[in-house]
Chain A
Amino acid sequence: MSALSDRLKDHRVAVFPTLMLLVFFLIPFFIMFAVSFFSRDEGAFFAPAFEFSNYARFMSPFFFKVLITSISLSAAAAVLSVSIAVPFTYFVTRMSSRAQSVVLVFLLSVLSLSEVIIGFAWSTLLSQTAGIGNLLVALGILETSRSFTPSLGALLLGLCYLGFPYAVLVIYPALSRLDPELPEAARMLGASPVRSFFNVIVPMLRNTITGALILVFVFTLGAYLLPQVLGRPQHWTLSVHITDQAIFQSNLPFAAAMAIFLMLVSLALVGLSTLLGQKRT
């Protein structure tokens, strides 16, 4: 009897998180999942049904191209952000602890900016009239000022700006816990500072780097404003189309189907990269 009540006690701690997950994640998700099979009703959003037409509509060369664009953009943003974040964080961890907290607080304040502000701020910065084009002219690099947006580069820049603080915040704890004698040992054994960074620090952070890549990838996959503000229509991601369908076309069932599909694809990709990341422990 006591064994049973003990076991129940063990499970008590799980009640609250389970409840939260259920109310705020599973139920909304199930509603969306159900809606994705509903039929569209021009007058009243949607009507209960069970049809695959929403998914079928998605299976077109156009949406396939959009999906590939979304994934490639997010993957590129993830790789770029993390490649900058790893050396950046390494130098941060070598600063005095005071300087470290200043940098981290600054990064956290960047996180408080919404996608809207980031998008329009960059679009202004990259514009012809008020942007860095004028700065480059003043420096004598450009003849006349030009606009750098909308373009693929501008969009990637925006996505990296969005993902970079997250990458740093994921990598920072692992790097600051790393024994500082490890890179020193590599140096004593004959490795130049750059080589010791790639031979010792990067391999030891393998799992953390995988984690940061996944986080930035998933996070930027959901960006729906930046592609519209900084990119051209051919750079519009699936998230943009989901927003378009849900808000402007009032086609919630189709938006839900796309969202489910995007989620499945990104889950598959995340699973794959986790598997690859853990291949060697």
Chain B
Amino acid sequence: MTQVRIENATKMYGNFAAVSKVSVDIPDGSFVCLLGPSGCGKTTLLRLVAGLEDLSDGALIVGGEDYGHIPAHKREFGMVFQSLALFPHLTVAENIAYPLKIRGTSAAKRRARATELLELIKLPGIEDRYVHQLSGGQRQRVAIARGLAIDPKVFLLDEPLSALDANLREHMQIELRQLQKDLGVTTIVVTHDQREAMSMADVVIVMEAGEVQQIGTPMEIYRNPANAFVANFIGVSNLIPGQLIDHSTFEAGGAAIPLTAEDILHVDPPSSATLSVRPEDVVISGNAKDGQLQGEVLFVRDLGASVEILVQVGEMEITSVCTPKRRPDVKVGDTVGVEVLTGRATVLAP
């Protein structure tokens, strides 16, 4: 059982805390994404788990054992690096079987394991090629296979798909997730791409400024962001500042937005607050009704599969997304009504 527990992990560089008091429990066999903008400390946290950096404070417990002082090469973890770090002077099979060579496995067994892993990643028959003869996607898979060669206790990946083009990346997300499910290995992936995190992870850990902002399943985090940073980082959010009057009314820009029992309140009324609403819950209509927010259309983005309308409401810019079928008949410069469909909104601290 390789449950990973990070307790109060802190990493200081001089006076700068790259990771500050992070505590996470990662259940055995789960797929966790560390998500955040660049410089948020997610890679440092992964390197702390890997043993490539030493904890300044806190503890790392893997499978019930304290791993804080075990050097990286004795942790029996697998890791895929951002640059992939495949060895250019070795063939594909030698790359994959390198960890087995270190452990003294016989040449025949090493070869067999490399072949087995190449079949697993759907690239049979490339054992004797060199890394420079492979395409980007193939290298990616070989790096994954090498990380899995010893049946690692924990599988760590640092922005593993960032070098791939968009189509291949989405395809690899699915493959990586399926591979992880089949093997049941506890996996931690660092990514800055929220779509990637949402499509792969059981649990998403959102980080910013070295601290954990929120931990939850992708849908929990999307549906109920803990603060404005998470609301904005996970997908697009409209953050509407205003007053929470009571449990059923939010007032903003002279309009009263009715709240329902399904909306999640992070503050107690009455209080100034911020309403977080997803663009798909904002409906634009050509003629504004009384008590509705009103604004001027700034931009209409016809994306084919969806339509995005950007509206200036007072000081705010509000984004609405709808399907082409429901596209309101508006153009840039029109004054329109902005209806906020509540029931899926979150009221956050201001």
Contacts and interface: CB of A to CB of B under 8 A. Distances in A.
Interface of A: 179, 181-182, 184-193, 195-196, 199-200, 203-204, 206, 280
Contacts of B77: 188
A189 B102 contact: yes
A181 B82 contact: yes
Contacts of A206: 89
A32 B257 CA distance: 97
A66 to B, nearest CB: 39
B183 interface: no
A182 B89 contact: no
Interface in B137-193: 146-147, 149-150, 156
Contacts of A186: 87, 98
Nearest to B76: A190
Given A187-B71, A187-B73, A204-B87, 13 more contacts: A181-B81, A181-B82, A184-B85, A187-B52, A187-B72, A188-B78, A188-B79, A189-B98, A189-B102, A190-B73, A196-B73, A200-B87, A204-B88
A200 B98 CA distance: 11
Contact of A179 (B52, B85, B102): B85
Contacts of B156: 188
Contact of B99 (A182, A190, A192, A193): A190
A182 B72 contact: no
A208 to B, nearest CB: 13
A109 B71 CA distance: 39
B118 interface: no
Contact of A184 (B52, B75, B78): B52
A204 B102 contact: no
A190 B82 contact: no
Interface residues of B, number: 28
B103 interface: yes
B89 A203 contact: yes
B89 A181 contact: no
Contacts of A188: 50, 52, 72-73, 75, 77-79, 147, 156
Contacts of B71: 187
Contacts of A280: 89
Interface string B76-101: 11110111011111000000001100
A187 B149 CA distance: 14
Contacts of B82: 181
Contacts of B86: 185
Nearest to A203: B89
B148 to A, nearest CB: 11
B49 to A, nearest CB: 11
Q: Which of B71, B75, B77, B88 has the most CB of A within 10 A?
A: B88
30 contacts: A179-B85, A181-B82, A182-B87, A184-B72, A184-B85, A185-B79, A185-B81, A185-B85, A185-B87, A186-B87, A187-B71, A187-B73, A188-B50, A188-B52, A188-B72, A188-B79, A188-B156, A189-B102, A189-B146, A190-B73, A190-B74, A190-B99, A190-B103, A190-B150, A191-B73, A191-B102, A192-B73, A196-B73, A203-B89, A204-B89
